[in-house]
Chain A
Amino acid sequence: MIFRFAGAFGTPNIVSGDGLDGESEKSGNWMADGHYEFSAYDLDQTQYLLLFGADLLESGRPLSHLLRKWGRIRRERPNRAKIVMVHPRYSVTAAKSDEWIPISPGTEGALAMGMAYVIIQERLYDKAFIERWTAGFENYRKVVFQYPLEQVSRITGIPSDTIQRLAREFAVTKPAIAMRGKGSLYLPGGSYNSYAIHCLNGLVGSIDVPGGVLYQEKPHYKALPSIVEDGIAKKGRGQPPVDFRGTERFPCARTVTNQVPESILEEIPYPTEMAIGFNCNFMMTAPSTKRWEEAMKKVPFYVHLSPFMNEMALYADLLLPVTTYLEEWGYDHSSHGAGFAEVRIKQPVVKPYGEAKSSMDILLMLAKKLGGSIEKSFASLGEDQERFVQFRTSSLMPWKDFLAKGVWVGPEYQYKKYDRIFKTPSKRFEFSSGNLETLFVKNGKRRDHRRDDRHRYDEVRFLGEKESYPLILHPYQPLMAFEHGSQNYPWAQEIYLPLHGIGWNTPVEIHSETARRLGIREGDEIWVESSFSKIKARAKCSEGLHPEVIAIPSGQGHYAYGRWQKGIGVNPNELIGVDFDRISGQSSYFNTRVKVYKA
């Protein structure tokens, strides 16, 4: 609906929060198989899960699906799958896995290459799949051989025999899945990491097989009539977007959320006159939060739609209260769930509080008021949110049944659709990305030899000098901060970090040996300082952390959002320097060096 409104109104500037949230996984997939979307996984039947920084039980998505499947994998079938977590921090997911392997921050891509080295050298890969359905394997083999075991072991800090064992287990236990998560994606080279890890799935043939990587089926909603565009809309849509997506700066990005404050402040490519925010709170969730504050101050007219008074709402000239998910109509499908298509509708269970309206109703009313082509674009969609949901889902099943069941489930998932699933130039799974090649050629990039590899591990550009800032900041999202939306629930606040038994606060996790060296004891007040900012919090000495890493949970440090969360804890995003994964426009979170000292 929001996209439609933007289209009819005539703005290319529709910026979603996706740019903070895993775009590099999508671009990695796109390099390998041409799908610019998240992978779905057949967790019901998998035998081996290798998690590269994927905190499935804390910040994984879709969360409830993953929680349910975790139980299923563990003890609801005769053979229990093995789960291995590779991550610098001992997270809840690591605690619940069979094995935790601490890795030097930002080196997951190198580990993937090292594992590929072992798998190829020992000829453990899926020969039939690779011969018939993949392209560029020879080139891949050449690149992989530049990553011998000892070198990878040096980079990642994991002993070579562990890497070897992991690679053998992964290749021999079928079906196995290598999953990516925030830890390996939110880096300046996130797309390459994502690609390297996804290629492991291709190497062992875990593509579109039971227990492997799936391609999520989409439901067929009733098609929307095309947008009615007038001259103004056409002209407006022709302008370059403020987030520079698709330009040379972010060649294959679909949205670059964290670029927006710079664009507003520097008035590039043009000054911003007005903005509407739909239940967003980038001011807290995006790296380097101060810029967002300055940018929001600069926007002459800002309208904010939100069910809660969050930080963005403080900067609003016009604040529209909208309903929560329990008070409105809606329809939804999983972006990457169990493979088969499904749609569920939400129906209001409580009456909206006060004058709150759903965003959908507000858009419909706005379109009506604006008149002209915008009104026409929304004319035949039904006059309110309920009718609109009814209209969209009318192609699936009768409304009466939908109301009773609440969910529509599509046909069973078909495996091994190799002849039609790959959307790459070669129509195969590509170990040497043709899509990326095309993109580089289009943008007139020189064919430099290193780039040509398509597979590489670049040392992460950490911001700050190693001498003065020896540690690496690792912000993470605990389950109780789910998508930064639940800190205004006191029940979530008091059980915020189950691993440490800490609530109502933000501890700074520090490896106990590192803490001892720095003369810091448990519970001391300490400063964490990057070259951009500094915050003060209490130290929590931990054995479950890479010695070079400082971990801080995000989600706290609010200066608005109601009494249960205002003024509680600190926000690690303040410390982070701005950097992007250049291909997908994903903001990087794990790219900042810090130092720690007693307050």
Chain B
Amino acid sequence: MPKWAMVIDLDKCTGCQACVVACKEENNVPHGSPEEQRRRRDIYWNKVIAVTRGRYPRIRTELIPMPCMQCDDPPCVTVCPAKATYRREDGIVIQNYRRCIGCKYCMVACPYGARSFNFRKQDEKEYHRPDPPPDHHSREVWPFPVRIQGVVEKCTFCFHRIDRGIRERKKIGVEVVPACVEACPSCAMAFGDLDDPTSPVSNAFGSRTAFRLREELKTNPKVIYLPR
């Protein structure tokens, strides 16, 4: 069984946020509004955050793209009372909207803030996209054509792309990658199988400088960063 992982090279990253927009487009994640942003209720499956340290003129800001870390020991799965979130065999942590009771325990448990709660009413127009982009018609599954109010949602590593790629015997990580990886203009992101020693992610994982966020929590995230 493969073990899917992502590498984000912060040295190559330009902070352009193409990954954020690509994710929203691919997964039909609704955009927010001024009011929602004020109340921190806007939904992101992937977001570029800024961490600033130091004082003028010695200041340093890291811009970090934050998808779900797809932990190998995910705290969100442990706390879920409804078994709505679970870890697939290939390591992807999935949220089952039908089982989710909207208790938000997982949002509290997640040390990376990767989860969002859907506060929006389902009948709002933006949820039902009458004009999905043309190539979506040709796709077998577009997993989220309509959205569900009152559940927690998060990044899926674009499992629908991977599953389809495997069915069509395509090379995952080369021909098929998540939407954010595909969109990155500076090629700062890579995707692949950690169990395959030739994949770019294994290569990066073996690098001296590679790190993962909050490693001390022993969540074993599968998003690997390379520092600037």
Residues of A within 8 A of B (CB): 57, 64, 67-68, 70-72, 74-76, 80, 90, 92, 95-96, 100-102, 349-350, 479-480, 490-495, 498-501, 503-505, 511-513, 543-545, 547, 568
Chain A nearest CB: distance from B184 CB in Å? Answer: 8
For the A-B complex with A493-B31, A504-B34, A543-B54 known, give 10 more contacts whose Cβ atoms are closer than 8 Å.
A74-B186, A350-B134, A479-B17, A491-B25, A498-B48, A499-B52, A501-B50, A503-B34, A544-B61, A545-B56
Given A498-B50, A503-B37, check contact A70 B63 (CB 8 Å). no
**In the complex, A100→B47 CA distance in Å?**
25
**In the complex, A565→B14 CA distance in Å?**
25
* Stretch of B5-13, B97-105, B144-152, B165-173 that contacts chain A: B5-13
> B193 contacts the other chain (Cβ, under 8 Å)?
no
Q: Are B134 and A102 in contact (CB under 8 A)?
A: no
**In the complex, A64→B185 CA distance in Å?**
7
Please, what's the 1-or-0 string for B198-216, where 1 marks a CB less than 8 Å from any CB in chain A?
0000000000000000000
Q: List, sorted by A's number, 29 A–B pairs whose CB atoms are closer than 8 Å.
A: A57-B16, A67-B16, A68-B185, A71-B9, A71-B14, A71-B186, A74-B11, A74-B12, A74-B186, A75-B11, A76-B12, A92-B63, A95-B50, A102-B56, A479-B16, A479-B17, A480-B17, A490-B31, A494-B31, A494-B32, A494-B37, A494-B42, A495-B21, A499-B50, A504-B37, A513-B56, A543-B54, A544-B52, A544-B59
> B139 contacts the other chain (Cβ, under 8 Å)?
no
Closest 10 pairs between A and B when the two form their complex, measured CB to CB: A71-B186, A490-B31, A504-B34, A67-B185, A71-B12, A95-B61, A92-B15, A74-B11, A543-B56, A74-B12
Q: Are B49 and A501 in contact (CB under 8 A)?
A: yes
Q: Are B55 and A543 in contact (CB under 8 A)?
A: yes
Interface positions, chain B 43-82, Cβ under 8 Å from A, are 47-50, 52, 54-57, 59-63
> B24 contacts the other chain (Cβ, under 8 Å)?
yes
Q: Are B187 and A68 in contact (CB under 8 A)?
A: yes
Given A479-B17, A504-B33, check contact A96 B56 (CB 8 Å). no
> Which residues of chain B are within 8 angstroms of A90 by Cβ–Cβ distance?
59, 61
Minimal Cβ-Cβ distance residue in A for B61: A95
Chain A nearest CB: distance from B91 CB in Å? Answer: 26
Chain B nearest CB: distance from A563 CB in Å? Answer: 10
> B20 contacts the other chain (Cβ, under 8 Å)?
yes
> Which residues of chain A are within 8 angstroms of B94 by Cβ–Cβ distance?
none
> Which residues of chain A are within 8 angstroms of B228 by Cβ–Cβ distance?
96
> B109 contacts the other chain (Cβ, under 8 Å)?
no
Q: Are B14 and A70 in contact (CB under 8 A)?
A: yes
Given A494-B37, A504-B33, check contact A544 B186 (CB 8 Å). no
Interface positions, chain B 83-120, Cβ under 8 Å from A, are none
Q: Are A70 and B34 in contact (CB under 8 A)?
A: no
**In the complex, A503→B17 CA distance in Å?**
13
Contact of A57 among B14, B57, B61, B62 (CB under 8 A): B14
> Which residues of chain B are within 8 angstroms of A76 by Cβ–Cβ distance?
12, 187
Q: Are A75 and B9 in contact (CB under 8 A)?
A: yes
